[in-house]
Structure 1
Amino acid sequence: MNLYHIQSNVQGVNRLASFLEDNYIGIAWSGTGDLEQTPPELWKEQLIQHYRLDETELANILATLHTFANLMQDGDYVLISDDEWTYVGDIGDYYYDDSAGTEEDLICHRRGVTWLGRIPLAELNDKVQALQNDSSILAKFEYSISQAQLDRGLAISVASEAANSPSTGVDEATIQTALHVLREALHSEEEELRIRAAAAILQYAKQ
């Protein structure tokens, strides 16, 4: 299980709100076509045909496409951020959506995301802050995901969301019971279990 950070500015447009509302992440260069249907050896040819790129740009884009389509896996985690928050998501499968066209400013290369919660930027540890400050379009966390310590921030986010949401439709006793279960789950030795427990309670509290 890996952790990635993806830039939310795509072709000069901030897509963060769309990523969060429509539950996906995406990258540009739609002119390559569906990366699952186009053999990797043809990606370079398609990029040269559709975009003006120097050799360095071409190499970087090919690496980004490979990471997004092939190295990322269902169940990995992704971070996106704004000026105050980092949003944590559980990544789904790759898909190509050209329903609106394939112009350069459109995002056709996509992965579905289940957003688990948000963490104040100030509460990220140094390793995760370094990941967020990476200028690459798509950057991989080079440590064990347990060293990201995301479960601690998500626990705070979950508790805050549950306590301050007046329209959840869940009675206070149930919320408190769920939060108790969450706190117990956060003591699990499995990082994935801790994160998923936090996400499950947050999603339940939002209903």
Structure 2
Amino acid sequence: MNLYHIQSTVHGINRVKSFLEENYIGIAWSVTGDLENTPPELWKEQLVLHYSLDEAEMANTLATLHMFANLMQDGDYVLISDDEWTYVGDIGDYYYDDSAGSEEDLICHRRGVTWLGRIPLTELNDKVQALQKDASILAKFEYPISQAQLDRGLAVSITAEATNSLSTGVDEATVQTALQVLREALHSEEEELRIRAATAILQYAKQ
């Protein structure tokens, strides 16, 4: 399991709101077509046709496309940030959405995301702050994910959302039981288990 940070400004537009509301993340260079069905050598051909990239920019772009389509995996985690918060999401599969077209200002390369919660920027540890400040469009956390210590902030967000889930029709006893399991799971030695257990409870409570 890996952790990534993705820049949320694409084509000069901040996409945090749409990423959160529409449950996805995405990158530019839509003209390459579906990265799963197009060989990498054709990615470069399309990039040469549509963009003025020097050698270093071309290499970085191809590496970003490869990371987004192939290296990221379902179940990895991703961070996006605004001026106050970092939002943590559970990544889904890659897909290419050209339903609105594939012009340069559109985001066709996408991955679905289940957003788990948000953490104040001031509560991120030094390693995660360095990841968040990386200028790359897509950057990978180069430490074991446990060293990100994301569960400390997420515990508050997830507990609050679960408490509010009574409005969805889940009876109070179920919610209280779920909260108890959540609290117990948050003491697990494995961060993946802590986050996934809390997420499963929250999703059940929202049904």
SS at match of 2:167: coil
Structure 2 partner of 1:58: 58
SS at match of 1:167: helix
What is the CA deviation profile of residues 9-45 of structure 1, one whole-angstrom value per residue up to 9, with x for unaligned ones?
Answer: 0010111111111111100000111111111122111
1:1-207 maps to which residues of 2 (within 5 A)?
A: 1-163=1-163, 167-207=167-207
- Contact 2:4–2:78 at 8 Å: present in 1 too? yes
Task: Give, in whole Å, the separation in 1 of the partners of 2:147 and 2:57.
Answer: 32
Please list every run of 5 or more consecutive structure 2 residues that lacks an aligned counterpart in the other structure.
Answer: none
Aligned length: 207
- Contact 2:30–2:106 at 8 Å: present in 1 too? yes
SS at match of 1:197: helix
Query: Please, what is the CA RMSD of the aligned residues?
Result: 1.6
Identity of matched residues, % = 86
Task: Give, in whole Å, the separation in 2 of the partners of 1:206 and 1:84.
Answer: 26
Relative to 1, partners in 2 of residues 1:191 and 1:70: Cα closer, same or farther, differing over 3 Å? same
Task: Give, in whole Å, the separation in 1 of the partners of 2:70 and 2:47.
Answer: 18
Q: Which moved more, 1:194-203 or 1:77-86?
A: 194-203
Task: Give, in whole Å, the separation in 2 of the partners of 1:193 and 1:99.
Answer: 36
Task: Give, in whole Å, the separation in 2 of the partners of 1:93 and 1:162.
Answer: 26
TM-score of the superposed pair, with normalisation by structure 2: 0.93
What is the CA deviation profile of residues 54-90 of structure 1, one whole-angstrom value per residue up to 9, with x for unaligned ones?
Answer: 2221111111001001110111110111112111111
- Contact 2:166–2:175 at 8 Å: present in 1 too? no
